Structure 1
């Protein structure tokens, strides 16, 4: 019997005074080899019963409390009639309740077995509890045999919040109920409000009152502003430029966008709790700014071109009367055309391919084909007649000519220098007396310079007008002339 099991301990530690009501908590290991759990269980009991008076946890606390007390032995020695002498003896020590607790650790959980004994009535109660922690297993067992629960009242502003205790929904605010002692997690949830969580240290048989004010869910504002560099302010506070993300309280707010040279934009907005409001706004430029921006935009579009290909119609002529064409350019024999006696012109087509940097570029390769629009009239040497006439055909090969360009709006001025090889054939040659002569040829190298004006029509497509002048060290004058072309930059 439980009273007999502790009788020796009580006799050894008692020596009588006026008894005080107490509860004795005695702990033993549930399984062999788990004696260390005894001290842990006693510590958990001590923490749990910290607010309760007259709680004796462990044999040492019991022995210390009974020092100097003298229990009544009347029932034990037969001087008084008692239904259970041992119960009467324990009751005379002032022990209101004796709780025997055995704790053990199993593979996945802790287990506690509890026996509660009331000496004055002889009532016994048995219970068992398990839990992931020793404290939870202890409380799970004790609440079945010992009244430990506390009361709790929870209020919230606004009302109607859902109340969770240790993750379990128990009601809505205002709420009144019971709560187990120990560390408890309390959570309040309400639509459009920030959930509130807190940890309560619940005493044994206590009374807790919790009152909380819930905050509305913050709203989120995302603003993307243009053009680049546009400033963003909300409610008079500068938040940044271009794009900002800001958490705001729900309600009405004033946003202002500004940038030098642009018309400021002010707007009133209203944002709901928990809402993410995304705004995209673009400032309109003032008149002068719009002009400058269009000028810059067009120039950048011109400068953005890389490679280009151009086809042109050309009109050219020899810029002096010097001429040096002969029957065999490699053999200094036969008739020789020496000097022009008229001002003939040539026309034809040319093309070129190159690459433009921002300011500097390179014409990689080009060629032109020309034919005289009026016959060439010239003097002849080493021929029976001193004069001759002929049609002229010329081919020009150009390569690796650097150029410089400067853009203003859609127009760009282009200057180019380089060398080109020229082959010209005088065919259908007739002397002054009407005789037909063999074709005459010339082959030389020209230095050339040109300046042109390009006008961009649409992105990449442009028209160009060019004046070109060339020089040569040979006996024949260089070309000069104009050409008009269309090109595409890509």
Structure 2
């Protein structure tokens, strides 16, 4: 008897009487509240039986022989054998010992509970459940809806007790995207997952998805993936405006040559140190800016903000590039008090700076760029040379005159390009230009421009296969 220590039903009459007198509640599986196992197992569980042993006894005055078979709770005959002895008492003890030495007990538990347990392909009940099995190796499977199955094997030793426990994880769900254009990609929580038209297998949970396709505005949605279920999402991607279409990097890098025109504005605190000019054969040199009509002891800097245009021509590879020439012309009107010195006579002449003009050349600047869809950050650096003209006038000057100076500088810049098409891009950029002459300080430049890039203009590179 299952669950009752050392209680047995001996003989067919005792067995029939137990069946007739036994009353048990209706199994839950009959009314659909629990999964049903096999009819044999259900009968064993209802009658609280563990094993049924059938015996056929042959006896004479000096010899006793018994053929027996053991039926377990699956309704399967797990063992058949023949025993013999010279007395009935000896045969009975041998039979009991052999039957109990030939079996062991295994118990199953799971998280969550209520999982169906199958042994050697036959269901025996739901967890937690125990089963007496013949010695040897047995395969098992533990399963419950919406969870991963657990499978394995267990070796049953004579008169042993074993416990098998499994934590059954949830089954993954699947996400199906319908209506995505050819070549669209799926992003899950911001990470690229694969092509949108392929079935995506995801762990149960909440996700933010995005569907991208070249030439279309991205589609965004939130989905909840359930275990073992396929979630379908119909997407409708609207065509992107022509200037906002996503452009793959390879469509941009195929063009090597570029030209750009930009608006430049500078922010510069400077002294105009070493600026020189000439009037009526008299050499003039800029001494410095004055304050309240007096030249300070140290060099006094003044702020100027010239603005103008910049033109550039460049060559670039996939990442590294070379600016062949960058040319800026800038101008600013001012009213700044200053002093000049006539070099021959050492005479001091008060003047007013009325206009500043600059021509700046930056040949052979190196650049490096990276791609983030249509956005392309650019880092560049190099050297340049600046030509500056300063218009001055004053009561002691016979006429307005122009001073000039030429100074070299190094430059470092950071910019961001946005490609509207593979050949048309806008750019915003910041440059710091530090003059070798320490009196001129650092000039900060901002520029906003638009440019074109071209393919194999001069025929130096091989054409890609698609253009041959």
Query: TM-score scaled to structure 2, two decimals?
Result: 0.40
Larger radius of gyration: 1
Query: TM-score scaled to structure 1, two decimals?
Result: 0.39
